[in-house]
Amino acid sequence: MVYYHTLGDLQENDRLIYNDPMHPLWGFSIGLTENKDYMVLYTTESTSGNALSFREMKGSSDTFTPIVTGFENDFSLLDIVNERFYIITNYKAPNYRLIAVDPSNPSEDGWVDVIPEKEVVLRGVQLTGGKMFASYMKDAHSKIEVYAYDGSYLYDIEAGIGSIGGFGGKMTDTITFYSFTSFTTPAIIYMYNIVKNESTEYSRSAIDFDSDAYETRQVFYTSKDGTKVPLFITHKKGLKLTGSAPTLLYGYGGFNISQTPGFRTTIIPLLENDGIYAVANLRGGGEYGEEWHKAGTLMQKQNVFDDFIAAAEYLIDNAYTNRSKLAIKGGSNGGLLVGAVVNQRPDLFAVALPAVGVMDMLRYHKFTIGRYWATDYGTAED
């Protein structure tokens, strides 16, 4: 159920916006277009895919008009531009695309590509200051392309290997903000002049860390079935690779979640003491779109474990570390990953840190929100 609540008012005065008693386990969320002409309803039954519908705020009907009714794909409505809904989706586009949908004819035959699918993954679009800021992911790090509202390309916003986020605001704004971070760079916030295409540093994290003393390289190693998998490796500049460095290898590999560069204060002691921090971009994540995600789910879940094992073998074979100095870590789905590989290859690791791991794969779906994970894992009843 979705209710409208006024801050400071009594809960008993809340107004029911939407209810579907036939599907008590479905999830619902509501949004509004910037001009407040339309209310948007998202419906989910798992962590992947959603239905999408809308209704006019000024209309007399409380009925929502469906754009999509199934849960097979992702649909995210950004706003309304020139009387068209702008929607990001992976429907018929595993790497995502931006489409325009006419509210008066929301059926698929009226959908039009604004930014077609590319070889790199479209992670999101911000409609700010008369421009579209499209965030792409290329080999697990950020790339920003700027477009006009009609989909014509304007320019890139350059950055190094790292993660960029932000560019939010209203369509009439002339100033916006974005952040940049990497494995060696604490978060920096920039103020961006949309009219002049100029970035100015606005704020940076006050962390006692010399970024210039460290480096990150990205390599691509070969997994068991021949698939090339990205691996970020961070350490002190000039560190001699003798195969003896204490190394922490991190992985996740699930639910279309990408492991992109980001600064973590918890790894500073490791780096300061000549250690190595490595992050593997395993299948099951979203680094290369929906096909990469699906390749690490259900009956293909072993691919994730094979990718992680191959990352460890790469670090050993290339003289970064050895079995007695290698630790692995992952949380939640990553905890499952660590639990699986330490049982499959106990000879390969000295330390395993499975944080809040999903370990009971026979019964996980029967407790709390576990049922929503079945799209990645399947269940024992399948």
As averages over each run of 10 residues, the pLDDT of the chain (382 residues) reads: 95 95 95 96 96 91 93 97 98 98 97 98 98 98 97 93 96 98 98 97 95 98 99 98 98 98 98 99 98 98 99 99 99 98 98 97 96 96 88
d(CA 134, CA 145): 5
| 89 phi, psi to nearest 5 deg | -150, 155
Q: Which tokens in the block code for residue 18?
A: 């939407």
Predicted local confidence at residue 122, as pLDDT: 98
Report the Cα 57 to chain-centroid distance in Å.
31
What ranges in the chain are assigned the alpha helix state H? 268-272, 290-294, 302-317, 333-344, 374-377
Predicted local confidence at residue 61, as pLDDT: 81
Predicted local confidence at residue 362, as pLDDT: 97
Q: Which tokens in the block code for residue 33?
A: 């277009």
Predicted local confidence at residue 237, as pLDDT: 98
Predicted local confidence at residue 114, as pLDDT: 99
Q: Contact 297/375 with Cβ under 8 angstroms? A: yes
Q: What is the DSSP letter of 71?
A: S
Angle of the 333-344 helix axis to the 302-317 helix axis, nearest 10 = 70
Q: Contact 142/163 with Cβ under 8 angstroms? A: yes
Q: What is the DSSP letter of 127?
A: E
